[in-house]
Amino acid sequence: MLKARIAVLVSGGGTNLQALLNARNTVLQSGDIVLVVSNNPDAYALQRAAAAGVKSAVVRKKDGNFEERLAAVLEENKIDLIILAGFMTILSAGFTARFRDRIINVHPSLIPSFCGQGYYGLKVHEEALAYGVKVTGATVHLVNEIPDGGRILLQKAVDVLDGDTPEILQKRVMEQAEWILLPRAAEMMSREIIGKENL
Ligand code: GAR
């Protein structure tokens, strides 16, 4: 295998998807982003995929058999690595076991702070500010049956500053941590996958 085949799963704006697309052939050399899957047909991330010439698919929860249809589209496209990039859905133990050690997620805090069920998007930053931490950050980790509980791959700290709002802090964490860590982790995992295939 020359490159690992990557699917990026999204639900919203897709700035992390954009960071991955921008890293193609620089930071991300060992993986090819061949598919973007959204559970939300209106996600702006789908427009980013189209602009980058990457195939996309929409799998909606309300159409039923969500995980079965998601797994089918991933298997049809022979995906080696699944990247959750702002994918606002918790995957079941059955699904994560089916793709064991092949799913990574970016979370906008330093796990184990401000993580687990119910902590997603802006809510994570609201909670960090409410607690009064002076340092937060981002984590990229493997996905298992425990929400935000899989092995940590990369983390980066980001300062919380006086006057921060959740929106301001979210933007700083994205710029200084998420958009840097996610392409690096994608490359790490892709390299490992290619290495295993070529043994
Ligand atoms: C990102 O901050 C990501 O870390 C977070 O949602 C945002 C998606 O932004 N994910 C979670 O909270 C998952 N628990 P994006 O669509 O612009 O990449």
Tokens of 101: 């050690």
Percent of the chain with pLDDT over 90: 97
pLDDT digits (tens, 9 = 90+) for 7-25: 999 999 999 999 999 999 9
Residue closest via CA to ligand 1's atom 9 equals: 86
> Whole-angstrom Cα distance, residue 97 to residue 129?
35
Three-state SS for 8? strand
Q: Which amino acid is at 123?
A: K
Residue 198 has pLDDT above 70, yes or no: no
pTM to 2 decimal places: 0.97
pLDDT at 83: 99
Q: What is the mean pLDDT of residues 121-138?
A: 98
Q: Which of 111, 113, 120 to mutate to test the pocket of ligand 1 (most atoms within 8 A of CB)?
A: 120
Residue 197 has pLDDT above 80, yes or no: no
107 noted as active-site residue: yes
Strands (E), 19-109: 31-38, 56-58, 81-84, 103-107
d(CA 108, ligand 1 centre) in Å = 7
Atom of ligand 1 nearest to the CA of 88: 13
Residue 93 has pLDDT above 80, yes or no: yes
Band (185; pLDDT cuts 50, 70, 90): very high
**Burial tier of 81 (Cβ tally within 10 Å: 0-12, 13-18, 19+):** buried
Considering the chain, what is the average pLDDT of its residues? Answer: 97
Q: Which of 178, 180, 181 to mutate to test the pocket of ligand 1 (most atoms within 8 A of CB)?
A: 178
Given 21, 54, 70, 107, which residue is catalytic?
A: 107
The torsion angles phi and psi of 47, rounded to 5 degrees, stand at -70, -35
Band (1; pLDDT cuts 50, 70, 90): confident
d(CA 176, ligand 1 centre) in Å = 14
Residues with CB under 6 Å of ligand 1 are: 10, 12-16, 85-86, 106-108, 120-121, 124, 174, 178
Of 139, 100, 82, the residue nearest 116 (C-alpha): 139
Fold of the 4-197 domain: Rossmann fold (3.40.50)
Atom of ligand 1 nearest to the CA of 119: 14
pLDDT at 196: 76
